[in-house]
Structure 1
Amino acid sequence: MNYNASSGARHPAQKPSGRKKKHVGDPSTLGTYTPLPYNPYAVPPVYDEHSAGPPPPYGYSPQDYPQQAPLYGQPQGNYGQTPQGFSIPSQLLNEPVVTNMAMQYGQALVGSGKQMVDRELGKYIPVSRLKYYFAVDTTYVTKKLGLLLFPFTHSDWSVKYEQNEPVQPRFEINAPDLYIPLMAYLTYILLAGLILGSQSRFSPEVLGIHASSALAWLVLEVVVELVTLYIINIESSLKTLDLVAFGGYKYVGIIVAVLLSLVFQRTGYYLGILYFGAALAFYLIRTLRIQVLPEGAAQHDPYGNNVSSGSKRRLYFLLFVAVIQPILMWWLSAHLISVPSA
């Protein structure tokens, strides 16, 4: 007899098995217990049979849990891998999308840090202004050194302006810069160490005192010039960094004079100091005259008042700046060629 869905009759061959149906809660239906894989980073609850609380789930025992949970920061097993054996950090780092995001985040972080540093330094140091004084190239440096050593052959001392701002030094040889003074100062210190070593007078302490003394004299010179401008009430376009640059040019003449002393002894040194001191004084007078003492300055103002005394103060300031240069050049270098008697 075939099975009829409407009547629910069975086929003759299909007979009841006669076995008793087991309940779901029968322990024999659970089969063999397979422990869970060990996770070194999991902190399971510790079961204590003497403490209050529900017992562990059916089929588990306290021995299935680790005796002691791993300490924080102490890896167990394969460090950097999940229990399944996959190294997630290395896979993520190899993904191009993750790498690009990390690079973009790093660039944004560096850019924000640079802006913060520039903003904080700008409160105390004119960073944007310093960029102007270091805007030089090889051609400018070569021509400017020739101008400092031989200024008597130069004729045009005017400084070009663009949108009420002076042109960068690499485009204007008459503009002051800080690159040559800085390099000349460092070269002067190294040359002093070389000469002191050849005279058996070298020591790190002496070289440090020599470097700090030279820098202190430059700072003192600039401070005296600024105070003089304020006291005699001279209005000019000179800035503090301009005075630092003009005062730092003296190290170029000192270097050449000291090198001459190595060949021609004291005679070469004194001749070098006299010539390069006079050359630097001439250079400063012609350069500062345009900014401190303009050409064709009127002796009377539009109301007929005599202003010749103001022009005289400006002229005295120029002479003061020019005269102290040879004196400072001698003071900073004379001790390098004088060997103390035994």
Structure 2
Amino acid sequence: MQRPAYGQSPPLHHPVPQHVSTVPQLRSPPPPIPQQQHQQQAHGYDGSPYQQQPMGAGPSHNVFGQYGNFMNDPAAQLASQFSQTAFKQGTQYLEQNVNRYVNVSALKHYFNVTNSYVINKLFLVIFPWRHKPWSRKQTVGPNGQEGWYLPPRDDINSPDMYIPVMSLVTYILLSTLIAGLRGQFQPELLGYTASKALGVVVLELVGLKLGCYFLSISNESQLLDLVAYSGYKFVGVIGTISLAEIVNKGKGTGGWFGWSVFLYMFLANSLFLMRSLKYVLLPDNHGDARGPMQTGDTRAKRNQRTQFLFIYSYVVQFAFMWFLSRP
């Protein structure tokens, strides 16, 4: 063994442990279990800032839970049952009172249309010159009775309410739109146009009912049929206003072009009414089960009905269509 030089300290030798595995490793103590569970319930996740919130957790879960508890409340269930009962009784009361004045089941018959029917019907109203036949198709009723007419979707000659109602609304909106394009729109113009159109329809129906009364024409579906036919004139009026406004460039329905379009629409509508209203105003003795002529009818009375139909289809329609086509 070499001896250390003078002035130098001998080297230190540290003891090497023989059993390294027995030395315990130092670790941080785990958090208490109640505290960890409380932290997860408070934050809704395990402490990671990038973890998404699970479905059903958070404040919304509490809201839905409270709502579910509210719906399970007996007072809430009683209020819900009371509202449903009140709504049902109100609906029944409304239907009973409406049926006193309007036959809802019969009115649904006039709105039973399809897209193809609407297109073909509009084409028939505008171009009625070569259409045949004009008679309506009949079928057997639900109880086996004869003389029931097919709905509009199954018969092009059947009157409907869809086209007249939509034409009336379109006429009101079109008139106000044209006034707005001319810089003449005012809020009261909408009500004035609607009143003018409805007034024409009501006046026309009153005249038709008086004529049917004095000529002893009876028909179960007469009123609704006349309401439907009185609204077809708005198709021609809309066509006249639209074409004249486009060609005349905002100058209205005046001029030779406007009058030409008006005369064509008027003649088409008059022929359409003349052919279509024959089964109402000129019922046959045997063919129409809804409106049979009485036994005391004579040829003179039939001539009077024909004259009344001609006056209504040409004279009355000319006056009303000219009035509605004016700005």
Sort the TM-score into its range (normalised by shorter chain): 0.5 to 0.7
Identity between Structure 1 and Structure 2 (%):
35
Match of 1:319 in 2: 310
CA gap of 1:276–1:310, structure 2 versus 1, over 3 A, is same
Distance 1:122 1:210 in 2: 30
- Give the stretch that moved more between structures: 127-136 or 231-240: 231-240
SS of match in other structure, 2:101: coil
Deviations 1:155-197 (A, max 9, x none): 0111122323221111111111111111001110111011112
SS of match in other structure, 1:189: helix
Match of 2:104 in 1: 127
Distance 1:294 1:224 in 2: 19
**1:175 paired to 2:181:** no
Distance 2:294 2:242 in 1: 54
- Give the stretch that moved more between structures: 310-319 or 112-121: 112-121
Match of 2:71 in 1: 93
**1:220 paired to 2:203:** yes
CA gap of 1:211–1:186, structure 2 versus 1, over 3 A, is same
CA gap of 1:135–1:109, structure 2 versus 1, over 3 A, is farther
Q: TM-score, normalised on structure 2? A: 0.66
Task: Using the TM superposition, give the Cα deviation of residue 101 of structure 1 relative to its aligned residue in structure 2, in angstroms.
Answer: 9.5
Match of 1:276 in 2: 265
SS of match in other structure, 1:157: coil
Letter paired with 1:156: P
Confirm or deny: 8 A CA contact 1:140 1:173 kept in the other structure: yes
Please tell me the root mean square deviation across aligned C-alpha atoms, in Å.
3.0
Distance 1:234 1:186 in 2: 31
Deviations 1:268-309 (A, max 9, x none): 321111111111111111111133224689xxx999x88111
Confirm or deny: 8 A CA contact 2:71 2:77 kept in the other structure: no
Distance 2:102 2:285 in 1: 36
CA gap of 1:306–1:222, structure 2 versus 1, over 3 A, is closer
Match of 2:231 in 1: 248
| 2:181 counterpart (198, 202, 205) | 198
Match of 1:310 in 2: 301
Distance 1:269 1:149 in 2: 16
Task: Using the TM superposition, give the Cα deviation of residue 115 of structure 1 relative to its aligned residue in structure 2, in angstroms.
Answer: 2.1
Task: Using the TM superposition, give the Cα deviation of residue 114 of structure 1 relative to its aligned residue in structure 2, in angstroms.
Answer: 2.3
Match of 1:229 in 2: 212
CA gap of 1:99–1:144, structure 2 versus 1, over 3 A, is farther
More helix by share: 2
Q: TM-score, normalised on structure 1? A: 0.64
Q: Map 1:69-84 to 2 at 5 A.
A: none
Distance 1:302 1:250 in 2: 31
Confirm or deny: 8 A CA contact 1:273 1:326 kept in the other structure: no
| 1:289 counterpart (262, 278, 286) | 278
CA gap of 1:173–1:110, structure 2 versus 1, over 3 A, is farther
Distance 1:310 1:236 in 2: 17
Task: Using the TM superposition, give the Cα deviation of residue 241 of structure 1 relative to its aligned residue in structure 2, in angstroms.
Answer: 1.6
Confirm or deny: 8 A CA contact 1:257 1:268 kept in the other structure: no
**1:333 paired to 2:325:** yes
Confirm or deny: 8 A CA contact 1:261 1:269 kept in the other structure: yes
| 1:161 counterpart (117, 129, 138) | 138
Confirm or deny: 8 A CA contact 2:236 2:265 kept in the other structure: yes
Distance 1:291 1:302 in 2: 14
Match of 2:20 in 1: none
Structure 2 residues not aligned, in runs of 5+:
1-64, 142-146, 249-254, 287-292
Distance 1:278 1:291 in 2: 20
Letter paired with 2:246: V
Structure 1 residues not aligned, in runs of 5+:
1-86, 337-342
Task: Using the TM superposition, give the Cα deviation of residue 238 of structure 1 relative to its aligned residue in structure 2, in angstroms.
Answer: 5.1
Distance 1:267 1:213 in 2: 26
Q: Map 1:2-13 to 2 at 5 A.
A: none
